Amino acid sequence: MRDQLRQWARAVRRDVHALYLAARDPRVPWYAKVAAVAVAAYALSPIDLIPDFIPIIGYLDDVLIVPAGIFLAVKLVPAELMREFRAAAVSGEGERALGKRGAVLIVLLWFAAVVVVGLWIRSWLGGA
């Protein structure tokens, strides 16, 4: 069972990297790029929807949400392109894909999301 979990974890890591590559490829449809960026950003983000320190429930996003998002994004990318991106991910192409610019982008996206939600709540509560 431990080996199966390791294989699954490697496949998830490979697919996240492949989706990152897909998001940068002009042959991929825009809606697949949006899904790929969202999944890769969430999977690689240090910020979780449900914090990991909450017992059991804290790991649900890692075990359920991320794989479900990966599954959806992979289905949106054309199969022949996805095979190409998976092969590139296995070979290590773009290994330092995220880097500092990617980390800054993720932080900015989370900040923007917090601002938008805050403004929505403020307007919902009838604030000025």
| Whether pTM exceeds 0.95 | no
Tens of pLDDT, residue by residue over 48-77, are 666 767 777 777 777 787 888 889 999 999
Q: Please check whether residues 111 and 91 belong to one and the same domain.
A: no
DSSP string covering 11-30:
HHHHHHHHHHHHHT-TTS-H
Q: Please check whether residues 93 and 127 belong to one and the same domain.
A: no
Q: Please check whether residues 128 and 110 belong to one and the same domain.
A: yes
Q: Please check whether residues 76 and 65 belong to one and the same domain.
A: yes
Q: Please check whether residues 56 and 105 belong to one and the same domain.
A: no
| pLDDT confidence of residue 87 | 92
For 81, the domain range is 2-97
How many other CB atoms are found less than 10 A from the CB of residue 89? 22
- CA torsion 108-121-64-28 (nearest 10°) is -50
Q: Please check whether residues 81 and 128 belong to one and the same domain.
A: no
Q: Please check whether residues 65 and 110 belong to one and the same domain.
A: no
Q: Please check whether residues 23 and 40 belong to one and the same domain.
A: yes
Short-list 18, 24, 16, CA closest to 70: 16
Tally of domains in the chain: 2
Q: Please check whether residues 18 and 8 belong to one and the same domain.
A: yes
The pLDDT tens digits along the chain (128 residues) read 888 878 887 888 888 888 888 888 999 999 998 888 888 777 767 666 667 677 777 777 777 878 888 899 999 999 999 999 999 988 876 555 556 666 677 778 778 888 999 899 988 887 55
